[in-house]
């Protein structure tokens, strides 16, 4: 699985390269700015790009802008965004095309190697990997008149864990209930969000996007 990395801090960029290489990824290129990122993606057509939100020269949102441009050029390009802080606008912009294959993690999560590597693989496979803290902050801004307002508290809790990328088995373990109970909750979520029967993976992604992309109040 080929990866392109964009991170301006040389030490972290080298660390990400070594970490992913050690877990079976092929790091096609690691760069430190937006233009170089776009050029690297054009050259290598990677399976996933791991991108810091803030890149030179202004260190504001160059990484995100480059990611959005890359997904316009290469629709559906899997992108995992790394950020020092929770920035809701960036998360919403990344999700706006509703195509999935996106992740948004705080840099602190890199320290949990297995969790980080799993997030990269999940995004590369077309899923989502949203940081629990991002989800928490987005959830507190929800309005009750949105479609999500029809979900029960437990269904919203389950959907939040789905957004983290957790499977039904993992959600059941965290909530100390049966997998069958979680399956019932997920089916209710799909029905209430108007997602017709189809591939379960695709419905999970669409449910997560519906959960995350609504405008904050």
Please, what are the domains in the chain? 2-131 (3.40.50.2300), 141-213 (1.10.10.10)
Indicate if the alpha-carbon torsion angle 145, 148, 150, 151 is positive or negative.
negative
In the predicted model, what is the mean pLDDT of residues 10-25? Answer: 96
SS3 196: coil
Average pLDDT across the chain, whole number: 84
CA distance 96 to 119: 20
pLDDT at 1: 94
Task: Read off the pLDDT band of 145 (50, 70, 90).
Answer: very low
What's the average model confidence in pLDDT over 148-173?
86
Q: Which residues contact 104 (CB under 8 A, 6 or more apart)?
A: 80, 81, 83, 90, 91, 94, 129, 130, 131, 134
Closest CA to 50 of 30, 26, 22: 30
**H or E element in which residue 80 lies:** strand 79-83
Predicted confidence band of residue 11 (pLDDT cuts 50, 70, 90): very high
The angle that helices 113-124 and 10-22 make with each other, rounded to 10 degrees, is 80
131/128 Cα distance (integer angstroms): 10
In this structure, what token pair is assigned to residue 213?
């992309």
For the cut 60, the answer to whether the pLDDT of residue 139 exceeds it is no
pTM of the model: 0.74
Query: Which pLDDT belongs to residue 202?
Result: 66
Q: Find the helix packing angle between 153-163 and 132-139, rounded to 10°.
A: 140
Task: Report how far apart, in Å, the C-alpha atoms of 117 and of each of 101, 109, 136 are.
Answer: 15, 10, 22
């Amino acid at each position: 699985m080929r990866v392109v990395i964009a991170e301006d801090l040389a030490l972290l960029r080298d660390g990400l390269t070594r970490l992913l290489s050690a877990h079976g990824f092929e790091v096609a290129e690691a760069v430190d700015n937006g233009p170089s990122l776009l050029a690297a993606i054009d050259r290598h057509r990677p399976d996933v790009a791991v991108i810091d939100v803030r890149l030179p020269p202004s260190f504001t949102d160059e990484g995100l802008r480059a990611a959005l441009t890359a997904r316009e050029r290469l629709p559906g390009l899997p992108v995992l965004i790394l950020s020092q802080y929770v920035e809701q606008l960036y998360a919403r912009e990344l999700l706006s095309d509703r195509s999935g294959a996106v992740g948004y993690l705080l840099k602190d999560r890199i320290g949990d190697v297995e969790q980080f590597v799993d997030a990269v693989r999940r995004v590369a496979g077309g899923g989502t990997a949203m940081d629990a803290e991002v989800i928490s902050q987005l959830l507190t801004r929800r309005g009750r008149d949105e479609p999500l307002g029809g979900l029960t508290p437990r269904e919203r809790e389950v959907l939040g864990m789905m957004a983290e990328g957790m499977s039904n088995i993992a959600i059941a373990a965290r909530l100390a209930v049966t997998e069958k109970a979680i399956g019932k909750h997920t089916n209710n979520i799909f029905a209430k969000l108007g997602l017709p029967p189809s591939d379960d993976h695709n419905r999970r992604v669409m449910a997560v996007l519906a959960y995350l992309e609504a405008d904050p109040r």
